[in-house]
A and B are shown apart, each in its own frame.
Chain A
C-alpha cells in the first residue's frame, strides 16, 4: 500500500499579521511557521495506519511551498512518514487552490497512491478546497471532515461530523482521499531521536514549474484587516432577563450549549 499525506506550513496563528508589500497576502517576515493543525491529524492517521498494517505501507509526505516548508516535512518524517516531497514554490501563496491541487495531482498521478490524507483546511487560507479538488482531478472518491477512521481489506470506514453535532458513518473503497478534522486523533509529539533520524530520510525537491501548467482560476485581490468593531453587546435590565438573553446568544451564536 502507498499513502500520501499533503501538508501545509502555516504561521503561528497567535502572530500579528500585516499585509505584504503587494497587499495580496500577509507579510511572512518575522513570522514563526509550523505545520497546519489539521495536517497533523492527517499525518498522525497515516502513521497509525502504517503501524496497524505492521509497517508495510509506504507513507509519503508532500508540501508545496518555499524552502522553509522543509521544517514541516521533517516534522512529518519524525512522526513516522517514510519520505518527503517538497514541491518547491517560493510563490505558493499566490497560487489558488486549483493550482495547488493540480501541482499535487501531477506528482500523485504517477505514484498510484491507495490512500491520500489531507487536512480539512489550512489555518491561514481556509479554503478547504485542495483535498477535494485533488481527489476530483485524480478521479478518486473523497470524504471531508472525518473525525474517525478505520481501514480493513481495501475498504475505508470513516465518521464524519455533520451540522449540529450529528455524525455519519461513510464507507468507501480505495483509492480514496479523506480530509481530516479536529477530534480525529491526538497527534504524537515527534521524539527527539526521531527528529535526528529524520535527517537521513529522503526529501525530494521538485520545482513547481515541472508539475504545474494550470492558470489560476481565482486571485486574491487584496488582504486587509477589517475595521475594528467598537464595543461588544451590553446586556441590561433585570439579572434574570440578562441571563436569558445571554443564554439565547450563546445558543444562537456559539456552539458551547449544543
Chain B
C-alpha cells in the first residue's frame, strides 16, 4: 500500500496548480459573467502546448503519457480556478482516449496530434439527443450508407465545445433493426463538414465560459474512413469511454469543492461577528469538518479509480462511485461555503456563488448520479447472482 504520489505526478500537479493560479484564476470570474471566448481559447491553447489535452495519450501521437492519476490531479487543480476550462480539458482528453483506444492508425495520426497540440481548440463528444439523455441507447440520429461513405441526420444537444471543436465524435444508428443499443456506431466528423451545423448555445447556470450547443446533422456526408471503431459497436464504446470521463468529472467536482471550502474557511477565519471570529462558532466548525472529510473521501475514491485504470484493472464501478460521491460532496461543500459567507456568499463580489453554480452540473453530466447508482448497483449485484 502506497498513497504517495510519484515525483512526476507531483510536478504535474504543481504545474497545473501554478498555471491555474497565474492564468485561469485572474479571469475566471470575468469569463463567467461576461464571456470572453478569445481569452478562454488562448488559455486552452497554452494548456495544449503544455501537454494537458492528451495526458493519457502516447507521445507518438503528441500526448503526454502521464497516466490517469496525473489526469485526475491536473483536472482538480484546473477546476480550483476555472471549472469551464477544466471541463473542456476533461472532454478533450476523453475524446483523445476514445480515438486512441478504438481508432485506426490513420485516425490516430490525423486527429490526436491536432487535439493534443491545440491546433484544434477543442474536440466534442456528441452523444446526447433530445430523446436520449440518460437513456443514451435510445438515440435516433441515423447513419445511412451513401456511396462509399455515410450520410448522417439527426439532432444532438448539450454538446460541450461545439462552436470551437475541430472534430466531433458522433453516435448514430447504423442498424435500426438491431436490439436496443446494438445498432449504434461512432463517427468522426470534422468541423466545417457540410451538413454539420452548430446550433443554439445554451444559457447555463454555471460553467458558463464553456460552450454547450445543439448540433444538427442535416444530411451530413462523411467518408467511409469516418467510422470510428467497429460497426455497431458504438454504444459499448460510449459506455466504456464515459467511465474514464467520469474520473475527470469527479476530479473537477473535487477541485470546485475544495476551492469553495478553502475560500470560505479563510473568510470565516477573519470575519468577526458577536466579537468573535466566525470560525470560533461550532456551527461553522462542523461545516468545515464535514466538508473537508467528504472531500478527502472523494479524493481517495478518485485516486483509487484512477489508479485502477492506470494499472489496467476494471474501474467502471470505482469511477462511478468516485463521480457520484465527489459531485455530491462538492455540491454540499459549495452550499455550505455560501452559507459561511452569509449574504456576501450570495453575491458576485466573492467567488463562492460561482463555485456553487459550477458544481451543480457535476451530478448531472456524463451520466446523472441516479445513473451512476444504476451502474454501481448492477456491478455489485453481478457478484451476488
Chain A contributes a number of interface residues (CB within 8 A of B) equal to 16
* Structural contact, A78 and B11, CB atoms closer than 8 A: yes
Contact call B65/A195, Cβ cutoff below 8 A:
no
The answer, among B10, B14, B49, for a CB contact under 8 Å with A191, is B49
B150 interface contact, C-beta 8 A: no
Which single residue of chain B is at the shortest CB-CB distance from A33? B10
| A193-B8 in contact (CB<8A) | no
Q: Which of B46-100 contact A (CB under 8 A)?
A: 49-52, 55, 59, 63-66, 70
**Any chain B CB within 8 A of the CB of A225?**
no
A selection of 8 A-B contacts at a CB cut-off of 8 Å is A70-B7, A71-B10, A189-B18, A189-B50, A192-B52, A193-B51, A194-B51, A198-B8
Closest partner residue, chain A, to B62 (CB atom): A193
Q: Which residue of B lies closest to A196 (CB)?
A: B65
Q: Mark A184-216, 1 if CB is under 8 A from B, else 0.
A: 000001111111101100000000000000000
> 8 Å CB contacts to A: which residues of B1-27?
7-8, 10-12, 14-15, 18-19
A193 B10 Cβ-Cβ under 8 A: no
**In the complex, A2 has a CB within 8 A of chain B:** no
Neighbouring B residues of A71 by C-beta, 8 Å: 7, 10-11
The residue on A at minimum CB distance from B9 is A195
Chain A residue nearest to B64 (CB atoms) is: A192
Distance from B53 Cβ to chain A, minimum over Cβ atoms (Å) = 10
Instruction: Report whether B64 and A196 are in contact in the complex, using a CB–CB cutoff of 8 Å.
Output: yes
Query: In the bound complex, how far is the Cα of B14 from the Cα of A34, in angstroms?
Result: 9
Give the distance to chain A from B283, nearest Cβ to Cβ, in Å. 25
C-alpha spacing A71/B7, complex, angstroms: 5
A257 to chain B, nearest CB (A): 25
Q: Provide the main secondary structure of the chain B interface.
A: helix
- Chain B residues near A196 (CB, 8 Å)? 8, 59, 64-66
- Is there a chain B Cβ closer than 8 Å to A74's Cβ? yes
- In the complex, what distance in Å separates the CA atom of A209 from the CA atom of B70? 36
Chain B interface, number of residues (Cβ within 8 angstroms)? 20
Chain B CB within 8 A of A160 CB: no
> What 0/1 pattern do residues 33 to 77 of A give for CB contact below 8 A with B?
010000000000000000000000000000000000011001100
CA of A182 to CA of B7 in the docked complex: distance in angstroms?
26
Q: Which residue of B lies closest to A71 (CB)?
A: B7
- The residue on B at minimum CB distance from A12 is B14
A70-B7, A192-B66 known, 12 other contacts, Cβ within 8 Å: A71-B7, A71-B10, A74-B11, A78-B11, A189-B18, A192-B50, A192-B55, A192-B64, A192-B70, A194-B51, A195-B64, A196-B8
Asked whether, in the complex, the Cβ of B50 is within 8 Å of the Cβ of A74, the reply is: no
Residues of B within 8 A of A189 (CB): 15, 18-19, 50
A71 and B11 CA atoms in complex are apart in Å by: 7
Query: Which single residue of chain A is at the shortest CB-CB distance from B65?
Result: A196
B15 with A192: CB separation less than 8 A = yes
User: Which of A189, A191, A192, A198 counts the most chain B CB atoms within 10 A?
Assistant: A192
Alpha-carbon distance between A194 and B250 when the two chains are bound, in angstroms: 27
Chain B residues with CB under 8 Å of A198's CB are 8
* A192→B65 CA distance, assembly (Å): 8
Cβ-defined contact, B12 with A195, below 8 A: yes
Q: What residues on B are CB-neighbors of A34 within 8 Å?
A: 14
Nearest chain B residue, comparing its CB with the CB of A199: B8
Residue of B nearest to A195 (CB): B11
Q: Cα distance A189–B47 when bound, in Å?
A: 10
- Which residues of the partner chain B approach A192 to less than 8 Å between Cβ atoms? 12, 15, 50-52, 55, 64, 66, 70
In-complex Cβ contact of A193 among B11, B14, B18, B65 (8 A): B65
CB-nearest residue of chain A relative to B14?
Answer: A34
A75 x B49 contact (CB < 8 A): no
Q: Which residue of A lies closest to B70 (CB)?
A: A192
Q: Are A74 and B49 closer than 8 Å at their CB atoms?
A: no
Give the Cβ gap from A16 to chain B, nearest Cβ, in Å.
13
A residues 204-233 near B (Cβ < 8 Å) are: none
Which 9 pairs between the two chains have the least Cβ-Cβ distance?
Answer: A192-B51, A192-B64, A71-B7, A191-B51, A193-B64, A195-B11, A191-B50, A193-B51, A189-B15
Q: Bound complex: CA of A199 vs CA of B49, how far in Å?
A: 20
Distance (whole angstroms) from the CB of A80 to the closest CB of chain B: 14
Complex Cα gap A78–B52 (Å): 15
Complex CA–CA separation, A34 to B64 (angstroms):
22
Cβ of B317 to closest chain A Cβ, rounded Å: 29
CA–CA, A75 and B59, complex, Å: 19
